Chains A and B, each alone.
Chain A
Amino acid sequence: MIISGQNLSKSYKSIKALNDVSITCSAGEIVGVVGANGSGKSTLFKILLRVMKPDAGTVTINSKRIKPIGGIIEKPALYEYLNAAENLRIFASMQGLETNRQFILDSLIKVGLPLNRKDPVRNFSMGMKQRLGIAIALLNNPECIVLDEPFSGLDPIGIASLNKLITSLATEEGLAILISSHILDELNKVCHRLNVLKHGKIIHSGTTQELLNKSTMAYVITATNITSSSILKTYNVAFKNNQATVIIQPDKISELLQILHSEHIYITSCVPEISMSKLFEN
């Protein structure tokens, strides 16, 4: 295990932002924290990144590197008047890293940033800023990175490309990655494990599949001839164009899909509909 926060608590004046929260993340693992705004995600990540002291609890990072952990809180904070290379150079030089041209180019390539942009980062899209933020977080080779709401403000292409980057950092470089978001679909795509944070407490935790199955009440099945299915008429179903929203338990969906196949219904997608209220139920 690379990082472990045990029994973390933090209060702001009269508000208890975190209440006895424990979380761990191992090398190559992507752990998600899902929660509504104000649930305590940023406070938890600030404590894990050691920029905030907890009122109680401990953070252990099993790394002997100069920079054991890097991260982004809320949104990437960059020197907006500097360009991407200058931002990288200044953050690298502050920590005593040698910054030759090749080093800067390698860092930009690693996160998929264009090499020809010389204008200040204030002109960059949010996706590009997120990438540059990650490049800065990766300076000095940390073993763990913490990304707070990395998908906020990104378009679908930006989200997909960031997902790819995050997954490759975990699988190819073996980084332990902690990631928070309120976009459940995206966490579902990248996270091995999930923690649900509500009012400063972790109310559910487990594998992503396990947690999402528990919160899945229906599936949206898409097929061109979906309305001609006879089996679907025996379910609680709502049709819309070539889609059917079927209320069904996750353990029964594969059986239904097989029957639909035998009925010559040509399915193009089957997407679980996750009930947020169920996920956030205590």
Chain B
Amino acid sequence: MKNLIFAEVYKLFKQGKTYYAIAAIFLIEIIILFSAYSQGQSILDVLLDNLSQSFHFEGNLLNGNLLIYLILNTLWFHLPLILIIIISGTLTSENKDRTLLSVMLQPVSKWKFILSKYIVAILFTLTIVLFLAITSFLFSYAIFGKGDLIVYIDTLNFFESSDAFYRIKYAFFFGGISMVFFSVVSLTLAIILEETTKTWIAAAFFLIISNILLKVNFNNYFLDNWLYVKLTDTWQYLFYFEIPWDKIYWNTSLLIVYTIVTMLVGIVIFNKKDIA
């Protein structure tokens, strides 16, 4: 099992597309920072125009914490999209190149092979989120400095700089768990659909539907609390004035259970399938 995991890591980092994906994430980050640097203050002025007539703001609101929060928002769509492309590609490309068949011709257990792919997918996802977190903290603080964070969720919330750092840090952690869920789903879709384009379409569709349904209020206790789409935005709860830790723990636990179940379903399907 250890050998299979090492082999998967080795293959992942020997492929150019992995570095393209990391570069894409980095580029998104740079674009956000550049946009904020060139136009951020004027946008912020427009947004806060009404409020500034009633309140007096001290300090610069266009600061590192706001920028990290903006980068954090790539967890809605950009980051999971890039992750599902890479993660599903670890299997679909082996199907296309038929190396999956070559591996299965060796004395390698099918379930151990696919489990090692899931493990590496999870580790890679968490590494990418960590990379995003570290680089966004570094660049944002270096260019824009620290300051109070203003966030609009239902209402405008203001957080002091140290409190903002604490919240963003945990938001990355819980966001990482959501990203793992999307990565695991994309690998399971790759097992089912096998073909690259079909898997990308299905995984992107899954992501879009998840984001749409997230905004829907079902007015049903089960759907509003148990449906997976209501669990993938848990990192946003860190920016409520009072952090609902109970809700965060519940959602995260449930999402981890869904992730494990999705993995098990994928392993069972992979084991039953003929390798064409």
In the complex, whether A169 has a CB less than 8 A from a CB of chain B is: no
Q: Mark A134-162, 1 if CB is under 8 A from B, else 0.
A: 00110110000000000000000000000
Given contacts A52-B275, A81-B14, whether A66 and B102 have CB atoms under 8 Å apart is no
In the complex, whether B59 has a CB less than 8 A from a CB of chain A is: no
In the complex the two chains form, is B98's CB within 8 Å of A139's CB? no
Kindly name the residue among B3, B101, B106, B275 whose own CB sees the greatest number of chain A CB atoms within 10 A. B106
| B11 cross-chain contacts in A, Cβ below 8 A | 79, 90
* B8 → A minimal CB distance (Å): 9
- A97 nearest CB neighbor, chain B only: B3
Given contacts A79-B11, A82-B14, whether A91 and B107 have CB atoms under 8 Å apart is no
In the complex the two chains form, is B97's CB within 8 Å of A77's CB? yes
| A91 cross-chain contacts in B, Cβ below 8 A | 102-103, 106
In the complex, whether B20 has a CB less than 8 A from a CB of chain A is: no
Option from A52, A74, A79, A137 in Cβ contact (under 8 Å) with B99: A79
In the complex the two chains form, is B14's CB within 8 Å of A136's CB? no
| A86 cross-chain contacts in B, Cβ below 8 A | 14
What CA separation (Å) do A237 and B105 show in the bound complex? 50
What CA separation (Å) do A156 and B256 show in the bound complex? 58
In the complex the two chains form, is A52's CB within 8 Å of B108's CB? no
What CA separation (Å) do A93 and B100 show in the bound complex? 15
* A236 → B minimal CB distance (Å): 48
Chain A: number of interface residues, binned into ranges? 20 to 34
Given contacts A93-B3, A93-B7, whether A77 and B101 have CB atoms under 8 Å apart is yes
What CA separation (Å) do A111 and B216 show in the bound complex? 62
In the complex, whether B15 has a CB less than 8 A from a CB of chain A is: yes
In the complex, whether A78 has a CB less than 8 A from a CB of chain B is: yes
What CA separation (Å) do A137 and B106 show in the bound complex? 8
Option from B3, B14, B101, B274 in Cβ contact (under 8 Å) with A94: B3
In the complex the two chains form, is B15's CB within 8 Å of A81's CB? yes
In the complex, whether B4 has a CB less than 8 A from a CB of chain A is: yes
In the complex the two chains form, is A95's CB within 8 Å of B99's CB? no
* B74 → A minimal CB distance (Å): 28
Q: Mark B74-118, 1 if CB is under 8 A from A, else 0.
A: 000000000000000000000001111111111110000100000
In the complex the two chains form, is A94's CB within 8 Å of B108's CB? yes
* A61 → B minimal CB distance (Å): 12
- Please give the residue numbers on chain A whose beta carbons come within 8 Å of chain B beta carbons, in ascending order: 46, 49, 51-53, 66-67, 70-82, 86, 90-91, 93-96, 133, 136-137, 139-140
The 3 closest A-B pairs by CB, nearest first: A77-B98, A51-B275, A77-B102
17 A/B residue pairs, CB under 8 Å, sorted by A? A52-B274, A52-B276, A53-B274, A70-B106, A72-B105, A74-B98, A76-B102, A77-B97, A77-B98, A77-B99, A77-B100, A77-B101, A79-B14, A90-B7, A91-B103, A93-B6, A94-B3
